[in-house]
């Protein structure tokens, strides 16, 4: 399998090179030159397979011969060795809980897979690899945990000051070792733009071996397909599901779209957005206009210019009608998010985090029109990561898992930067 740049002005590369480079030299994102089609036998039998076996068969065509099969299978085992339960909430809506990994967020899957791939590839590199990543919340902690202690790899995480939850901040600023957190006085979009500039800065790349762990990196993005398969393993209805995906940078939903195009039976997708609604407006007008990021209580989705939008276009060959036929999108503001958390807990005794609430509310809106359908939404983070917001909305305290209680006694260690690329460059070169 080779990967081309969405800007069509860089040489094709294999999975190893795409993973190590992160972003193409022409500033495009790497995209597979073909979408593998799932074997009919696999589709009949995958519900009885282990999660590791499913993950291996799904990702193997994308990896090609870049990782030996035994090693790739072991990577898949490490990536998927926790639960992904599908929990019924109403007769027509279920929650796929993606917060049972080590950092209690869905990004554990992509981060664990990528860290182990990069660790495998770094054995052949004489230079230390620096993973440079921007986070709007959960990416940072998942990447930090996934790469902690990986030899030959240093991790630098940019996060927007005051715009991530206390638990999220502690998860990415208290690890030490090969992890450094840069606290940027700005928005996630500022952080993301600074990271992108670093990857296109010739002087920086000459002196530092950079790669990215955001969902722009194929090794972070593609394994997100796994939990769509894990969800379908547990689906007990005859008709394929509607899947509502809380969407910020659009890596998650784009991975699901690839799984569906590969043959996984998914009836329709719902892009669940907060007030950062550039994609919602795109579906309404056919024109995509990037927006300044707006701060919300579902902060991991506070992205005004989603990087993976270009991959959605690429997957559907820039055909607007195809996109619109397969995806609906809704914008859920903070007021509706709070009301949804309160209502779902009161009526169904299920505790949502703000992102899950956006997913639930969006799926409800779709099902109000398509009453014959049933679906699921992705609960992408444990409610404890947004303890204050959830408690205020529902009136009940959130129990802090024992794995996180020790964090509350630690002190963060971060380096403060202005939202200025030159400051990031100076830090990296120093």
The tokens of 419 are what? 């939202």
How many Å apart are CA 62 and CA 82, to the nearest integer? 23
How many Å apart are CA 298 and CA 291, to the nearest integer? 17
Question: Which residue among the candidates 21, 51, 107, 374 is catalytic per the annotation?
Answer: 107
How many Å apart are CA 324 and CA 71, to the nearest integer? 39
Can you name the residues that pair with 131 across neighbouring β-strands? 155, 211
Other residues' Cβ atoms within 10 Å of the Cβ of residue 53: 17
Other residues' Cβ atoms within 10 Å of the Cβ of residue 293: 26
Q: Could you tell me the strand order of the sheet in which 375-379 lies? A: 86-88, 93-97, 375-379, 242-246, 268-273, 327-331
How many Å apart are CA 62 and CA 386, to the nearest integer? 35
109 touches 143 (CB < 8 A): no
Q: Is 107 a catalytic residue?
A: yes
According to the 3-state scheme, what is the secondary structure of 358-422? HHHHHHHHHHHHCCCCCEEEEECECHHHHHHHHHHHHCCCCCCCHHHHHHHHCCCCCEEEECCHH
Residues 6+ apart with CB under 8 A from 368: none
Where in the sequence numbering do the catalytic residues fall? 107
């Amino acid at each position: 399998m080779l990967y081309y740049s969405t800007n069509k002005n860089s040489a094709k590369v294999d999975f190893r090179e795409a993973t190590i480079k992160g972003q193409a030299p022409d500033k495009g994102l790497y995209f597979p030159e073909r979408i593998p089609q799932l074997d009919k036998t696999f589709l009949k039998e995958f519900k009885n397979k282990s999660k590791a076996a499913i993950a291996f068969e799904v990702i193997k065509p994308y990896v090609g011969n870049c990782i030996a099969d035994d090693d790739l299978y072991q990577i898949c085992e490490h990536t998927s060795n926790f639960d992904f339960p599908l929990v019924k909430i109403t007769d027509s809506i279920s929650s796929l809980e993606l917060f049972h990994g080590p950092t209690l967020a869905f990004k554990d899957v992509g981060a664990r897979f990528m860290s182990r791939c990069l660790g495998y590839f770094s054995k052949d590199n004489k230079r230390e690899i620096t993973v440079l990543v921007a986070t709007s919340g959960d990416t940072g902690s998942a990447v930090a945990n996934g790469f902690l202690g990986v030899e030959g790899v240093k991790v630098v995480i940019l996060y927007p000051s005051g715009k991530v939850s206390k638990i999220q901040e502690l998860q990415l600023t208290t690890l030490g070792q090969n992890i450094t957190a840069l606290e940027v006085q700005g928005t996630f979009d500022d952080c993301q733009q600074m990271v992108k500039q670093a990857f296109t800065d010739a002087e920086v790349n000459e002196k530092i071996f950079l790669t990215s762990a955001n969902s722009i990196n194929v090794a972070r993005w593609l394994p997100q397909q796994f939990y769509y398969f894990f969800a379908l393993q547990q689906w007990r209805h005859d008709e394929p599901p509607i899947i509502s995906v809380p969407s910020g940078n659009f890596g998650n939903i784009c991975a699901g779209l690839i799984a569906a195009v590969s043959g996984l039976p998914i009836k329709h997708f719902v892009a669940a957005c907060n007030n950062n609604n550039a994609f919602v407006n795109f579906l309404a007008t056919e024109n995509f206009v990037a927006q300044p990021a707006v701060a919300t209580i579902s902060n991991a989705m506070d992205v005004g210019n989603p990087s993976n939008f270009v991959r959605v276009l690429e997957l559907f060959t820039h055909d607007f009608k195809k996109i619109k036929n397969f995806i609906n999108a809704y914008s859920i503001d903070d007021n509706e998010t709070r009301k949804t958390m309160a209502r779902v807990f009161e009526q169904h005794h299920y505790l949502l985090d703000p992102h899950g609430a956006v997913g639930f509310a969006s799926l409800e809106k779709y099902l109000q029109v398509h009453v014959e359908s049933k679906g699921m939404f992705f609960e992408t983070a444990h409610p404890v990561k947004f303890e204050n917001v959830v408690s205020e909305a529902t009136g009940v305290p959130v129990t802090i898992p024992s794995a996180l209680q020790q964090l509350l006694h630690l002190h963060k260690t971060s380096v403060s930067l202005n939202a200025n690329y030159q400051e990031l460059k100076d830090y990296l070169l120093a």
